[in-house]
Every structure is written in C-alpha cells, then in structure tokens.
C-alpha cells in the first residue's frame, strides 16, 4: 500500500517537473517561408503582363474614342448648318421674298447693302478673325436670326491665320452657294448661263432637294461669304474654286434648299488631301476636270438658264 502511494507521488512529481520545463521554454511559432527570388521575379512578370495588357486595350480603345469624338463634332456641325438653313429660310419672309444677299464685302463698300455675313476675299484677314462680321446687325443680315458667333464655325475647324506674327483661329467655317443671292453690284465669279437665284420664286426653277445652300468649307479656302462653284464652259468649269471641308473623317457637311443636311463622304483622295491643307491663297489653280467630288458639287450648284423657244 505504501509502495503504491510512493509510486503515485513519484508520477505526480515527474509530471510537475515536465510542466515546469515546458513553461520555461518559449513557445515556438510555425516557421514562415521567406519569399524567394523566384517569387519576387514572378510578381514583376505579372506586373509587366498587366501593363502590356493595359497598353493593348488602350490601343484598341483610343481609335474608337477618337471616332466617337469626331462623330459628335460632325453632329454638332450638322446642327450649325441646320440653323443657318433655318435663318436662310426665315429671311425672305421679312424681306419681300428676297433671298439673303451673298457675295463679298461689307456694308460700307456695298452702298449700305448687307450680305448674310460680311467678309472679304482671301487676303483680307478680317474675313477670318472679326466676329462682328457675323454677330453685329449693322454688318450681317443673319445677326438678328443667329446672334451667336459660335454657330458659324465648325467644331472640327482647326484653321489658323497669321496676323502680326501671331496665329488666330478662324471665326467662320461655312459659306453660302454663290448662285444663291449673289449681289449684282459685286464682280461675279458666276457664269451668266446659270441661274442666279434672287427670290423664293426663283427656287422653283430647280429641285430644292438638289440645290446646295451652305457648305462646310476647307480651312485653307474659307474667305468670302460665298462658296464659289465653277460652272459654265470657257469660264471656271472644271475648277475647284472653293473646296469643301473633309474634317469629319473624310466627310463634309452640306445643306440644301429644302432644309435637309447631309454629311457627304468625299470619294476622291485628292479632295480630302487638298481640303486638309491649312492655306490655299489662290483659288484659281485647282483645275480638276475629272474629280467626282467637284462634279457632284457642280451638279447641285445651279441649273442652266432656260433658253427662249
């Protein structure tokens, strides 16, 4: 019995000693793996892959974003031409059915006559830079209808003109078909064998849906308020007197006498390339007889004067 008690006591002492030893030893945490060079290198590779993927995605998206922005500018440009068309349509009701006067000059040079907007030929810088030519009722017949100068400029027109060593942006991008309302007192580029439409009654001589009104004009060709169209054998037939703009991905916005507006896709690479030239001082050098875009415009510029039977 005593022996059993001694054995039991010895067991208790042994367990206590072992517990004391465990308490004295610090607890050992599970070993953590230190990152190896291979792991660090793999992380860098992943980062490079992500960067490359982002660059590829950006490369795919940027052209689409650029096209979307240009489409928005084209829509805005078409809206401007619609407003110009509306002003052109409203004007005769206030002026005994006379169409807005067109040509080039200012009231002080035209015996007080006001064109739809004032403007001079190419070498007169005020044709490019003077907003009063557009928005001042004393200088522009359209000013009471469209007083905001911004409407007269295409949002894609990046044209500049140099004045005193500095570059200034164009204030106007649009021009009106020279065969609509050309002022007789102004030296004309029009051919007498084609109708010069002066009143709303004259519009019955043509199909309004095929008669050009306003054209978004190439930045290098914007000058006078009139959009010159080469017509008439032995005159300027075959000459691209004024180039249309091609700022909207090779398209130019044009209006028609029935009020509708088109974004015309020019079919000749030559037309688009010339339209993107920033400065074309001479209008009588582009003799492009076979150019399909020139022919398309000429067919919609006017109609031949009817010959008497």
> Any idea where the domains of the chain sit in the sequence?
70-299
* Helix extents (H) in the chain: 2-24, 37-94, 126-129, 132-135, 269-275, 292-299
Rounded to two decimals, what is the model's pTM?
0.79
Joined together, the tokens standing for residue 27 give 């607890």
Instruction: Show Cβ contacts of residue 175 under 8 Å, excluding neighbours closer than 6 positions.
Output: 214, 215, 217, 222, 224, 225, 226, 227, 242
267-303 b/e (C-beta count within 10 Å ≥ 16 → b): ebeebbebbbeeebeebeebebeebebbebbbebbbb
Q: Give the other-Cβ count within 10 Å of 38's Cβ.
A: 8
pLDDT of residue 16: 47
pLDDT of residue 7: 47
pLDDT of residue 309: 60
The three-class DSSP label of residue 262 is strand
pLDDT of residue 6: 43
pLDDT of residue 188: 81
Dump the DSSP string for 140-184.
-TTTTT---GGGGS-TT---EEEETTEEEE-S--EEEETTBSB-T
> In terms of Cα–Cα distance, which of 36, 9, 152 is closest to 83?
152
SS3 of 277-303: CCCCCCCCCCECCCCHHHHHHHHCCCC
User: Residue holding tokens 């309004």?
Assistant: 208
> In terms of Cα–Cα distance, which of 161, 180, 160, 169 is closest to 84?
180
Cβ proximity of 165 and 155 under 8 Å? no
pLDDT of residue 307: 78
Block means of pLDDT (10 residues each) for the chain, 309 residues, are 47 48 50 52 74 80 72 94 98 98 92 94 81 96 97 94 86 97 86 95 97 96 92 83 94 98 97 85 80 96 86
């Amino acid at each position: 019995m005593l022996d059993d008690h001694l054995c039991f006591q010895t067991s208790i002492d042994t367990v206590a000693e072992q517990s004391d030893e465990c308490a004295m030893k610090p607890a050992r945490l599970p070993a953590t793996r230190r990152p190896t060079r291979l792991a660090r290198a793999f992380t860098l590779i992943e980062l490079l892959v992500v960067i490359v993927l982002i660059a590829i995605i950006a490369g795919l998206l940027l052209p689409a974003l650029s096209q979307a922005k240009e489409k928005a500018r084209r829509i805005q440009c078409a809206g401007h031409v619609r407003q110009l068309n509306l002003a052109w349509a409203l004007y005769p009701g206030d002026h005994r059915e006379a169409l807005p006067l067109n040509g080039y000059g200012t009231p002080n040079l035209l015996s007080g006559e006001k064109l739809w907007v004032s403007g001079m030929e190419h070498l007169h810088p005020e044709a490019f830079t003077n907003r009063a030519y557009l928005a001042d009722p004393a200088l522009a017949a359209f000013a009471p209808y469209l007083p905001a100068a911004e409407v007269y400029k295409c949002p894609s027109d990046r044209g500049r003109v140099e004045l005193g060593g500095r570059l200034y942006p164009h204030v106007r991008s649009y021009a009106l078909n020279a065969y609509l309302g050309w002022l007789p007192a102004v030296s004309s580029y029009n051919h007498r064998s084609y109708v010069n439409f002066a009143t709303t009654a004259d519009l019955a001589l043509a199909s309004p849906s095929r008669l050009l009104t306003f054209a978004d004009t190439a930045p290098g060709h914007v000058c006078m308020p009139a959009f010159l169209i080469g017509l008439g054998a032995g005159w300027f037939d075959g000459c691209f007197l004024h180039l249309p703009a091609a700022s909207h991905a090779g398209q130019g916005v044009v209006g028609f006498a029935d009020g509708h507006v088109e974004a015309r896709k020019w079919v000749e690479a030559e037309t688009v390339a010339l339209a993107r030239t920033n400065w074309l001082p001479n209008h009588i050098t582009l003799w492009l007889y076979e150019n399909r875009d020139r022919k398309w415009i000429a067919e919609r510029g006017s109609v031949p004067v009817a010959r008497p039977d």
